[in-house]
Chain A
């Protein structure tokens, strides 16, 4: 079993200018070494401990917060948003921040410095944000609340590669600290192209903006996916980031983990006693994870040409869902414990060799067809797509998780664009009954199934057999269906709200750790490698609006199973 400790990112020495405010005091003799006082080490330690661990005067937590919505609110801080003029910032980040502000979950002393290349000033940038808030807000904002929110945003113009921009940023941040209680706390948010990450991170390091000094506040950095395009580039990126930031300062967003239903997966598995005993190779026949999209590549043609479905969805979203389904119960509900368990699952995924890739992985690309009553073009005819493109828009694969719990239980994953509908679902297919008692029944009951719908119609379905009322004995499969909408208010936060608030609070549970990213690439890399050498035979091989190429059906039917109709 692979129980190797996660690789510690080496922290190379670096030259860092002393903080502008005060020169670092000369380092005293190492505190661990007792001074020559004649006391034993044990005595020394006891007295030191006595001094150091005296109960702090100020309680760590605000006692008045107990029982309120949040027992802790984020510390006052400055958020520095790189790529603030981009699409992601406008569609997701600002609306999420505005909702957090609306519900008073942000500290009053919260400021945002938006960085972009375009020529805005504070006012014109705020006007722009106001417009996108109107379009993208989950709950409309009261004008007064919106004004308050926008007042906290300022615009800082500059190129990501210009040193002068970072120097003036340092001054600007110091000036904000002087007027607000932000106390040196910084949240850097990189909503930029991934190719800019190393540059920005390096510059932040040059200016000492990563540096957490004692009493000088925390520094955290949020990075958006993709985290590399294969194992090598992911390692390179992690190394670049690791040169400047410690792993505990880095928050890699996979917004899928912020979705309510995905978070509920943990609650479902570990807050219920009756499912966990069944959750293993003894009772589970196989697991299917589907993430279907009805959309095509839209305006992202050039991006998609570079990525393809495997990199875009399988490596991150689908494998994340798989880890949540397959992981062992963590010892505590803490970020590291949780992520340790997820990494273990990723490490247990069997790496397919060339023959296994050929047999167990199916790729596809859509041709023209009909989706939702509309005629749509094929992938090769999409904007910015090569007319002989070999990029896959559909992947179906079988993975084996080789550990004590799952050995021999196949995990079938599939994702694709231009499928008949948009749906994400995890289905746990249980084994059939060992003995068919009701042989006279006209139809054999299907084995039990537990389906967790992630979108749309979030909910959980349990399928079981039931007798059809009547004199004879006929059996039909029925569903016990739980939908979120009918049991809870539908006012669930957006994934980005959850994740940004967590990053502000310093809770990394729902963020991907460096070794997790690398382990996921390790699982996917052999597939990408095998494909490099073997061009796809027959692209496009499925019609838009169908459930993928026929090979995908054969992949699962070989074992006498079939894909769920969703």
Chain B
């Protein structure tokens, strides 16, 4: 995905002397449409050093912005032929190539600060790959921080990179910075102190935990103080994930943060499909007459509380919060194998049985298999059965035992880069997430203090 420059370039911007420090311009001529290219990479060992490098990047990149034609676009109509001399940074010092006509300016643009707290090195690599996919859509300053060797002496290793992308033939190149920080010893315990000097001021700070966050630790609390948005993936947490889910739901009250969970974002295709069943005016009244909500999910074994059920809970929580329900009996894990979770919610005077049902399946554990909504109005009964497949969602609706035509929504599963982009585009407190998260906490019996549950949102 990212083209690594094979050598160091840029005589004037070369190494800075200290041991192991390399730095400077890379790949000055390479740009392919839509593919990020690393234009700068350097290494340093202090926060002051990182700040210095960041300043130097922009001085150099704007000078060396190639006017060359992206190789992928060569031969397209409307694109003049251009030289691609000095393309890979290995053949001599990089810099302005006078033979190449200056056609576009690299625009440094940032839409946010993204702080990735990576527990292990490979988590950081994975996150970096996702961020690269985002460069064209939402260039941001990304800081990937990995605490290491907590009992050793304090040390810091920082790598500063700039990645540029050409979104389309007739637009300027956009660039974004990526900083890898590995913090050893005690400096890894004071993440906020490392990160605060490096964020672009006036831009929102999103803190992303690709793995399991330690929400109770003091280092995390410091980070949350400086964050505007918190991004987690609840479906990846250990156990059934419910304790952490309840903790997560309390964060907006304790800190001024908005929460986004990839687990919930991934379900948007389900929500669209479920909502669409009730677009038909004659079925809409059934929404006020629901009798039961059941979500089945994939489980490896039937042992109680062994499978992460964050995603199935989100389905229930979304429906319950949207339909203004209140919790009567929180979901309780059955102690028998394959027993699942059962509870009761209330809508007006009507009690509604809710359940999470584990099913043996080969798909990833914790994946939602089916959402079933049963409703009855007088003599009329409605059953909406929504099932997920790899390529989309199918909705089977039965009214009074008479099936309506199946509807199949073709929506492929989305990648993390798309989800990350979506969270950024949905800036501002997302009503679905905030309400569903609070409802989820109530559903597992740990309601957020002070949250008016069941009060129908205006």
Contact = CB atoms under 8 A, between A and B. Distances in A.
Interface stretch (A325-333, A356-364, A412-420, A486-494): A486-494
B218 interface: no
10 contacts: A63-B323, A64-B274, A67-B431, A68-B275, A76-B280, A144-B391, A485-B172, A489-B137, A489-B421, A490-B136
A58 B425 contact: no
A442 B319 CA distance: 68
Interface string B134-166: 001111000000000000000000000000000
Contact of A145 (B137, B167, B324, B410): B410
A489 B425 contact: yes
- Highest count of chain A CB atoms <10 Å: which of B136, B172, B279, B391: B279
A490 B323 CA distance: 35
Interface in A6-62: 57-59, 62
Interface residues of A, number: 31
B17 interface: no
A483 B138 contact: no
B171 A485 contact: yes
B322 interface: yes
A487 B109 contact: yes
Contact of A144 (B137, B171, B410): B410
Given A57-B285, A63-B323, A69 B272 contact: yes
A114 to B, nearest CB: 22
Contacts of B379: none
Contact of B107 (A456, A486, A489): A486
A62 B139 contact: no
Interface of B: 107, 109, 111, 136-139, 167-168, 170-172, 174, 268, 271-272, 274-276, 278-281, 284-285, 287, 319, 322-324, 391, 407-412, 421, 425, 430-432, 457
B174 A58 contact: no
A148 B411 CA distance: 13
Contacts of A65: 275, 279
Contacts of B411: 104
Interface string A323-343: 000000000000000000000
Interface string A446-465: 00000000001100000000
A486 B271 contact: no
A66 interface: yes
Contacts of A170: none
Interface string A70-107: 00010010000000000000000000000000001001
Contacts of A485: 167-168, 171-172, 174
A59 B168 contact: no
A73 B277 CA distance: 12
A108 B172 contact: no
B171 to A, nearest CB: 4
Nearest to A141: B410
A58 B284 contact: yes
Contact of B272 (A104, A486, A487): A104
A66 B168 contact: no
Contact of A68 (B138, B167, B268): B268
A62 B107 contact: no
Contacts of B167: 485-486, 490
A430 to B, nearest CB: 25
Given A59-B284, A108-B407, A489-B137, A64 B170 contact: no
Nearest to B273: A104
A485 to B, nearest CB: 4
Interface in A142-164: 142, 144-145, 148
A483 B322 contact: no
Nearest to A105: B272
A72 B105 CA distance: 42
Nearest to A56: B285
A489 B138 contact: yes
A475 interface: no
Given A487-B111, A489-B421, A63 B287 contact: yes
B271 to A, nearest CB: 6
A181 interface: yes
Contacts of B137: 488-490
Contacts of B109: 486-487
A487 B431 CA distance: 24
A162 B271 CA distance: 46
A73 B107 contact: no
